[in-house]
């Protein structure tokens, strides 16, 4: 969703290098160099894994900035510690990586996976745009 939104803009090939959808833990490890021990210790949906994903994407694409999102879209898979709607968004540049979490409240409409994914993508795009213009804050 993030890549689609970016590439809908004419001329985006001048700044968008690509994206990786690393849904499985194996893909996070293989394509983004997320250490298996990090996933085992903190879980795929965690601050630590989100940061490692963003750093891995920035490294793989040799980009100025990278964004990564990991979360529980639902409707199943949530736990007390990691409920449906929990997302971690990380943005990395050459010297820093920061992470934010959002709890997209699952109400009758948010139970829909698409709504959680759209909310996460919107938040990630807004932060990425701010980071591109103002730096990480």
Can you list the domains of the chain with their CATH numbers? 2-134 (3.90.950.20)
Q: Summarize the confidence of residues 54-58 as an average pLDDT.
A: 98
Q: Summarize the confidence of residues 25-52 as an average pLDDT.
A: 98
Q: What is the pLDDT of residue 105?
A: 73
pLDDT digits (tens, 9 = 90+) for 70-109: 999 988 899 999 999 999 999 999 999 999 999 987 655 5
Q: What is the pLDDT of residue 114?
A: 85
Give the mean pLDDT of the chain: 93
pTM of the model: 0.94
Q: What is the pLDDT of residue 75?
A: 85
Q: What is the pLDDT of residue 136?
A: 86
Residue 19, CA distances (Å) to 4, 5, 56, 137 in order:
10, 12, 11, 23
pLDDT band, residue 111 (cuts 50/70/90): low
pLDDT band, residue 29 (cuts 50/70/90): very high
Rounded to 5°, angle at Cα 72 from 71 and 78: 140
Q: Summarize the confidence of residues 110-133 as an average pLDDT.
A: 89
Phi-psi region at 105: left, alpha or beta (left = phi > 0; alpha = psi -120 to 50)? beta
Rounded to 5°, angle at Cα 117 from 116 and 118: 90
């Amino acid at each position: 969703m993030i890549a689609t939104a970016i590439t809908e803009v004419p001329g985006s090939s001048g700044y968008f290098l690509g994206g990786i959808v690393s849904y499985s833990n194996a893909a996070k490890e293989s394509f983004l160099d997320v250490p298996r021990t990090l996933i085992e210790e903190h879980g795929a949906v965690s601050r630590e894994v989100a940061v490692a994903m963003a750093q891995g994407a920035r490294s793989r694409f040799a980009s100025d900035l990278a964004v990564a999102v990991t979360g529980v879209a639902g409707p199943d898979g949530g736990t007390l510690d990691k409920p449906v709607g929990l997302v971690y968004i990380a943005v990395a540049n050459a010297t820093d990586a920061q992470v934010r979490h959002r709890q997209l409240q699952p109400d009758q409409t948010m139970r829909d996976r698409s709504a959680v994914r759209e909310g996460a993508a919107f938040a990630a795009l807004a932060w990425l745009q701010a980071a591109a213009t103002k730096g990480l804050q």
